[in-house]
Structures are given as structure tokens and as C-alpha cells.
A and B are shown apart, each in its own frame.
Chain A
Amino acid sequence: MKRELLKFLILAILVAILPTLLSGSYLVNVLIFVGIHTMLAVALNLLLGFAGQISLGHAGFFGLGAYASAILTTTYGINPWIAMVAAAVAVSLLAFAIGFPILKLKGHYLAMATLGLGIIFFIVFNEAVELTGGPSGFSGIPNLKIGSITFDNDLKNYGLIWLFTLVTVLLSVNLANSRIGRALRAIHDSEVAARVMGVNARLLKVQIFALSAGISAIAGSLYAHTMGFISPTSFGFNFSIELITMVIIGGLGSIYGSLIGAFILTILPEALRTFQDYDIIIYGIILILMTMFLPGGLVRGIPGLLARLRPADKQEEG
């Protein structure tokens, strides 16, 4: 537990000093996205990496949060903070209700069902033009405010979003190392044995699905209020796959891995601007390579890989 605290402190310090080392708002802007993506990847990892339940529709929950915030504040003039809380609660409740029937499904069937869910949300974002603005997007979303501080520039937004991201990471690490985290991993390894030991697998899966959707919705609200403009393309199937790739790269069940996965997959497309139209192909290739060579993800896999590359002092099992 001491080590967990140390890891978290190092991360917090890095987050605090990084913007002072970077010149120009472009890089700070990229780091804002790293933060949002980290929240989403960690949320998905709770479901995918711990409970072992796939969701190919998480971009949809992200979008629901963003649109709920946009509509409540811009169309109905509600305070952005209240809108954010309302969006998170509503999306969690929705996921809870959907979760009961959908999480009875396993493996490929669950993948198909959540894929369908994501597609339905995407269609709604596009077609409910009066509410969402349709394909041309929704603009004029107000910034968040605390007292006289308005979060209207990159540095302030960086602080705001990374505060939320750090809290998400900390709470998720706590959860992972608790009775609930163990029950989730138990479901992952043997659902029948977990149930025999008294874990209400069905309810717990639905709860974690709702929590995961709720965190994604908060990330969506933050995104909407920082950007001021949203459009359906940010919340499509491609983005769901991108989120899964982040989780796999970092390692299933590794919270800090998700952060690293989010970092890599946010920086990479920026660095490889020319490949823009091929991003989904690149994610596909990454997914295949990771599954073949580093199924445990980078964080767990790299030490093992290094050990294999150093045959001279390899240790035999006693």
C-alpha cells in the first residue's frame, strides 16, 4: 500500500510540473486530451480488465455525457456543474438499467450487444438534430466556473481535467485493491467459483458497468465544457476501439497501465499526423501485436520481455 501511495505521488508531481516545462499551448492541449483519455481508459479497464466484461460502446457513454452537458447548459441554461452531475447520474442509471439484460450475455454476444448500443447512441447524436445539432455539431457550450475563475484557457483546463483524472486514478486504485476489486477479478477468473464464494456476480457486473459509464459521462462533460464544441464523430465506433486499444496496451487490470496506454495513443496520432486516415488500421495492428507478444500489456510485459532478452543471467525455477 505504501508503494501505491508513492506511485500516486510521483504521478501527481509529474502532472504539476509538466506544463511549466512545456512551451506553447499546443502541447498543453495534447496533455488535456491525455487526461480525458486516461479517465475513459481507466473507467473501461474497471469493466474489461477487472470484471472481464467487454464493452464496444463506451464512446457512446462518453458522448451521452458530453451531449447531456451541452444540452442542459446551452439549451436550458442550467449551471455546468449541476449539468455534469445530472449527466453522470442519468448515464449511470441508464447503464444500470441496460446492464441487467445485456451483461447476462457472454463473450462475443456481449461484444455484439455493446457494439449495437454504441451504434444506437451514435445514430441518436446524428439524427436528433433539434437536440444535438446533428452531424454539424453543437457549439457555444459554456466553460466551467468556480467563483470568479472561468476555465477558459488551456492551462486552467489542464489543471481542472488533471484534477479529475488524478481523483479517478486514485479511487480506482483503491477500488482495485479492495474486497470489491478482488471479487471482480474472481468473476473474471471463474464466475462459478466466485458465486459459490458468495459474490453476487450478476449485480456486481452491472454496478461496475454503471460506474464505468458514469465516469465516462463525467469525462464527456469535461470535454464538452473545455472544447465548447462537440460533434458526433468524436463518439463513434472508432473511438470505442481506440479506448480498448489503450486498455490493452497498458494492460488489463493495470490502472497505471491505462494511463500509459492513453498517453501513447494520444501522442502517437499527433506525432504521425500523416497517417490520420489510417488510425483505425494502426490500432488494429497494435491490438494484434500486443495480443501476440505482450498479452499482459506494457506495464507488466516489458520487464518479462527484458528478462527474456538477457539470457546470460536467466534464473532457473528452483
Chain B
Amino acid sequence: MLEIQAITQLFGGLTALCDVSFTIRQGDITGVIGPNGAGKTTLFNIISGIYRQTSGRILLQGKDITGLPPERLARLGIVRTFQNIELFGQMSVLDNVKVGLHTKSHSGLFSCSFKLPWHLVEERRIAESARRWLDFCGIPDLADQRADSLPFGKGRLLEIARALASEPGIIFMDEPAAGLNSRETQDLASLIRKIRDAGITVVLVEHDMELVMDVCDRILVLSLGEKLAEGTPREIQENTSVIAAYLGEG
């Protein structure tokens, strides 16, 4: 569904990604792993349109989407969460998810100011959908809290709920389990499966190997900006160069 072709990213003299190619298949849960500084977040930043890569192309369902800005990609069904949670801190939890529905609604400055009838209908629909996604992620009771008052784990769930609200074709999650306790991590694993079962392709960067091996269908291994390996969890576990890279890292 999403083809990454020969992506290279230079930051000054530093090569963050070097000629990485990979294909993400529709309906899969794909894991991206690798030691710190491997270029995982950089890859997500490029795919979501936040960085413009030095060279290489990205195709979505065969269509070239290279260089499109994040807001266009969101409309094409590509969303993401962030390694350092990026919530709208001063807004309520419900309003955060409502922003996720931005691409699913259309009222402009004029109809919003004058509260035109179709705008009111739309607002009701937005509120209903937003609550449904909070339910989906298991945090319906937090709707009225301020986002920046949430504990870390709940913040991660809210970020996922907000991303899902745009009904994406593919969601990228950057270290969704970082900072979660083991219980929360288990719940996250079942949430990730539930997302896939809802027909959304999932790609996640994760350091928790147990989680990765448990939920992923395919895995991409990056190390120092290069693609080290790709394959099923089983193949990756048996791959000697992967083991070496991780042991070398400590």
C-alpha cells in the first residue's frame, strides 16, 4: 500500500537515512526497530510530510506523494503519533479528538460564525464521532479533562484516539509503549490489534521487543540509517546481523 523507494536523508554532514527502501502491505502491522539514532523517527517525519527527504520517493497505492505537506497527507489517510507526545494541552480531551475530525468536516469561517444550520448538524456529528473514538481507545470517562492534566499513559491513548478519528488508511505510531507499565503495554497490544481489525494499516516504532514480536506481521530493522533486515518476527529473531547490531549497542 505504501512504497518507500530509496529514501536518503542528510542533515548537514550526518546521514540519518541511506537509500532505504521498503514496502508496507495493506492490513499488516509493521514494526520498525533499531537502536537509538537509527533513523526511525526521521523516516516517520519524512513519510508524514514534516521533513522533505534529500532523495527518494514515496508512493501511496501507486500514486507519488513525495513532498506533500502533512495536511494534504492527512486527507489521503496518513496520520501519526509522536515520540514526544504532541497533544493540544490547553484543550479538553474531547476537543483534541474533535480536531482529529477536521478532515471529516467542512464548515468555514462564515458558517461557523453565523452558526448556519448545516454547521450545527456537523458539530453534532463531530461530537458523536469523537466520543466513539474515545470509547474505542478505552478512555471515554476522560472526555472533559484538560489534555495536559492526563497521566502519560492516557496521553498516549488520547493521541491514538485523535489520530484514529480522522479515519486514516494507515497510522504511524512512534514508540507508543514508551513510558507505559506492563499492564498498559498489554492493553496497548490489544488496542493495536483492534485498530488493524478495523481495517487500518499500522506501522509502529518500538523498543519493547516482546510487544513487537507479539503483534507485528512484518518488521523492518534500521541501524545507523541503513536497512539492516526485513522479514517476519521469526526471521528477524534468527537474523545474525540483527542480533549483532543489538548486542553491539548493548
Q: How far is the CA of A198 from the CA of B162 in the complex (A)?
A: 11
Given known pairs A186-B88, A190-B87, A193-B82, the reply for A198 and B113 (CB within 8 Å) is no
Question: Which residues in chain A, 136-193, are within 8 Å of chain B measured between CB atoms?
Answer: 171-172, 174-175, 178-183, 185-186, 188-190, 192-193
Number of interface residues of B (CB under 8 A): 37
* Other-chain contact of A175, B48, B112, B163 (Cβ < 8 Å): B112
* Other-chain contact of A182, B70, B95, B166 (Cβ < 8 Å): B95
* Other-chain contact of A185, B79, B88, B113 (Cβ < 8 Å): B88
Interface centre among A174, A181, A201 (most CB of B within 10 A): A174
Q: Mostly helix, strand, loop or mixed at chain A's interface?
A: helix
Evaluate contact between B98 and A196: CB separation under 8 angstroms: no
Evaluate contact between A196 and B79: CB separation under 8 angstroms: yes
- Which residues on the A side are within 8 Å of B100 (C-beta)? 197
Evaluate contact between A174 and B88: CB separation under 8 angstroms: no
- Which residues on the B side are within 8 Å of A174 (C-beta)? 112-115
* Other-chain contact of B123, A178, A188, A199, A211 (Cβ < 8 Å): A178
Distance from B18 Cβ to chain A, minimum over Cβ atoms (Å): 25
Evaluate contact between B88 and A195: CB separation under 8 angstroms: no
Given known pairs A171-B114, A189-B89, A190-B86, the reply for A183 and B99 (CB within 8 Å) is yes
Given known pairs A192-B70, A197-B99, A200-B71, the reply for A179 and B86 (CB within 8 Å) is no
Q: How far is the CA of A188 from the CA of B74 in the complex (A)?
A: 19
Evaluate contact between B98 and A182: CB separation under 8 angstroms: yes
Q: How far is the CA of A178 from the CA of B119 in the complex (A)?
A: 9
Evaluate contact between A189 and B102: CB separation under 8 angstroms: no
B25-45 near A? 1/0 per residue, CB < 8 Å: 000000000000000000000
Evaluate contact between B70 and A196: CB separation under 8 angstroms: yes
* Other-chain contact of B162, A189, A197, A211 (Cβ < 8 Å): A197
Distance from B149 Cβ to chain A, minimum over Cβ atoms (Å): 9
Evaluate contact between A193 and B88: CB separation under 8 angstroms: yes
Interface centre among A180, A183, A192, A199 (most CB of B within 10 A): A180
**Which 4 pairs from chain A and chain B are nearest by CB?**
A198-B74, A178-B112, A198-B103, A193-B86
Interface residues of A (CB under 8 A from B): 171-172, 174-175, 178-183, 185-186, 188-190, 192-201, 207-208, 211, 253
6 extra A-B contacts, CB within 8 A, seeds A179-B123, A180-B112: A185-B88, A189-B89, A192-B70, A195-B70, A199-B99, A211-B109
